[in-house]
Amino acid sequence: MIARLSLALLLSSSFAVGAEPAAEYQPLAFLAGHCWKGTFPDGKQTDEHCFEWVYGGKFLRDLHTVNGAGHPAFHGESIYYWNAATKEIEYLYIEDQGGFSRGVVGSAPDALLFPPTSYVEAGKTQTYRSRWQRAGADAYEVVTEFKSGDGWVDGFKVHMARSP
């Protein structure tokens, strides 16, 4: 029994490491296998995202942690997946405070585009949109805006650098 379990774990882990993601995931591929960290504009909090392919490159997982500002760390996780019916990369984000959001990811040259979607927590909804613009091979800029009335207001900007 233990030998079979060990063999199954060995085979599944070697498959996951050596697996190439589907071509549809190319806009996200630069993120995979790395952690990226940035500091919020207030200088009091850091944001870290660690990305890994899961299930043989069929999904991309993003483990997310916000530290600082006198509170315990906030944790979240996104799973990015290819929806063959809509021909789009979609994601589900969940976090330890009970909030969640779902959305799609588009791409432009050297950028990931997150069109308006809703974050829901404790019965309240906030609409947001974001752009992750590549800044060389080892960084990207995150710009997030929030819906306010009929317009959009600046949320935050964070420079995310690949962690060593």
Give the pLDDT score at 146: 98
- Show Cβ contacts of residue 32 under 8 Å, excluding neighbours closer than 6 positions: 21, 51, 52, 53, 60
The residue ranges of every structural domain in the chain are: 2-162
pLDDT category of residue 19 using cuts at 50, 70 and 90: low
Q: Which CATH architecture has domain 2-162?
A: Beta Barrel (2.40)
| pLDDT reading at 12 higher than 60 | no
Q: Is 21 or 103 the better-scoring residue by pLDDT?
A: 103
How many contiguous H segments (helices) and E segments (strands) does the chain have? 1, 10
Report the distance separating Cα 112 and Cα 127, nearest Å. Answer: 18
The pLDDT tens digits of the residues spanning 54-89 come to: 999 999 999 999 999 888 999 999 999 999 999 999
